[in-house]
Amino acid sequence: MATQLPTTDIRIGADMIRRRKGGTPIVCLTAYTYPIARLLDPHVDLLLVGDSVAMVLHGHETTLGASLEMMIAHGQAVMRGSARACVVIDMPAGTYEDSAAQAVASARRIIGETGCQAVKLEGGVDVAAQIAAIVAAGIPVMGHIGLQPQSVEKDGGYKIKGRTDETVAALLADALAVEQAGAFSLVIEGTIETVAADITHRIAIPTIGIGASSECDGQILVIDDMVGLTVDRVPKFVKQYADLRSVIAHAAERYALEVRDREFPGRVHVFSKTSGGDEA
Going by their DSSP bridges, the two strands 141-146 and 185-189 should be labelled as parallel
Please pick, among 122, 189, 253, 263, the residue that the annotation labels catalytic.
Answer: 189
Q: What is the rounded CA–CA span in Å between residue 97 and residue 133? A: 12
3-state secondary structure the chain: CCCCCCCCCCCCCHHHHHCCCCCCCEEEEECCCHHHHHHHCCCCCEEEECCCHHHHCCCCCCHHHCCHHHHHHHHHHHHHHCCCCEEEEECCCCCCCCCHHHHHHHHHHHHHHHCCCEEECCECHHHHHHHHHHHHCCCCEEEEEECCHHHHHHHCCCCCECCCHHHHHHHHHHHHHHHHHCCCEEEEECECHHHHHHHHHHCCCCEEEECCCCCCCEEEECHHHHCCCCCCCCCCCCCCCCCHHHHHHHHHHHHHHHHHCCCCCCHHHCCCCCCCCCCC
189 has catalytic annotation: yes
Residues involved in catalysis: 189
